[in-house]
Amino acid sequence: MRLLTREAVLAFRRAPLLSALSVTTIAFSLFTLGLFGLVALNLREALRGIEERVEIVAFVLHGTPAETVTLATQDIAAFPEVQRVNYVSEDEALERARRELVEFRDAYRDLQVNPLPASIEVRLREGHRDAGSVERVAERLRGFDFVEDVRFGREWVQKLDHLRNITGVVGGAIGLAFAAVAMVIIGVTIRITLLQRAREIAVMRLVGATKWFIRGPFLLEGALKGLFGGALSLLLCYGGYLLFRDSSEGTLAGLVFFTPAHMLLIVVFGVLLGLGASVLSVGRQLRNV
């Protein structure tokens, strides 16, 4: 193991320029991937804020007994999709209208009869805020006899869904493309290293080194390049994040950076990329060396 590590580390010293080039290209590939990840992460955070406001409002028929509504509210709260149910009586609705719709304050003050219906406001749990779930819950609410109408922002719930899907597809495609580019680059650098060290490999074979002993240092070298590349890409991402956040003069102060779990994932992904590319490259090249 000591020799394996020494040979892998020695490879960096023997070809510093080539190694630096490999690490840099891996870092830039992962940096681009990381930047996209940051955009996706922040978009997701922003979407979550909007999604939290997804609300279904069921308007209650005038004259419905309070006990009926209370019982129904308990039923609705038990729906698996439902996070919170709030009953707004007719009086509360009027009070809220007076408070929130300032421009109509005078009109509401002079009213003899309250024209606003009572309503049941339903908020959904995370993961159930897509158009399908919203529609399903709305349909069940319509099933109550005392419900006159059910409203929710159908269009923008569908738009949210659309945006979420696009983010997923574009992110996945760009991620895969960059991962492929990074693998090709690592593979080429490992292949160049193998050709550089063909004589050494021939001697190893001659004196009876095992297959995995010969391959081990190259695989470790690839994994180390992935590790360094991954770590460097995180630094670049952090630099980019700070630059973007600070240059926005406060408008993007709420931007988030990767969590430690995300960072670990990027570095592990770098290591796996390096290792995978080395496995492919060494397997193909060692047949010819």
Partner 1 sequence: MIRLTHVDKSYPNGAPALKDVSFRVRKGEFVFLTGHSGAGKSTIMRLLFAEQRPTHGEVRVSGYDVGTLKPRDVPRLRRRLGVVFQDFRLLEDRTASENIAFALEVTGARPDTIGARVIRVLAQVGLTAKARAYPREMSGGEQQRIAIARALVNDPAILLADEPTGNLDERATRGVFQLLRDINAAGTVVVMATHDLDLVRQAPYRTIEVREGAIVYDSATDDPASAGAAAEAE
- Judged by beta carbon, residue 71 or residue 203, the one nearer partner 1 is 203
- Judged by beta carbon, residue 14 or residue 164, the one nearer partner 1 is 14
**Closest separation between CB of residue 38 and partner 1, Å?**
43
User: Of 63, 80, 143, 208, which lies in the binding site for partner 1, with binding defined by CB under 8 A?
Assistant: 208
**Closest separation between CB of residue 200 and partner 1, Å?**
6
**Closest separation between CB of residue 17 and partner 1, Å?**
16
Q: How many residues bind partner 1 (CB under 8 A)?
A: 17
Residue 209 interacting with partner 1 (CB under 8 A): yes
**Closest separation between CB of residue 195 and partner 1, Å?**
15
- What DSSP character marks residue 171? H
- Judged by beta carbon, residue 186 or residue 214, the one nearer partner 1 is 214
Residues 6+ apart with CB under 8 A from 11: 19, 193, 197, 217, 218, 221
- Judged by beta carbon, residue 12 or residue 213, the one nearer partner 1 is 213
Residue 289 interacting with partner 1 (CB under 8 A): no
- Judged by beta carbon, residue 88 or residue 214, the one nearer partner 1 is 214
- Judged by beta carbon, residue 77 or residue 203, the one nearer partner 1 is 203
Q: Letter for the amino acid at 221?
A: E
Residue 199 interacting with partner 1 (CB under 8 A): yes
Residue 213 interacting with partner 1 (CB under 8 A): yes
How far apart CA 85 and CA 30 sit, in angstroms, is: 44
Residue 200 interacting with partner 1 (CB under 8 A): yes
Q: Do 64 and 146 touch, CB atoms closer than 8 A?
A: yes
- Judged by beta carbon, residue 212 or residue 251, the one nearer partner 1 is 212
Q: Letter for the amino acid at 266?
A: I
User: Of 14, 44, 136, 262, which lies in the binding site for partner 1, with binding defined by CB under 8 A?
Assistant: 14
Residue 47 interacting with partner 1 (CB under 8 A): no
Where do contacts with partner 1 occur on this chain (CB under 8 A)? 2-3, 14, 199-200, 202-211, 213-214
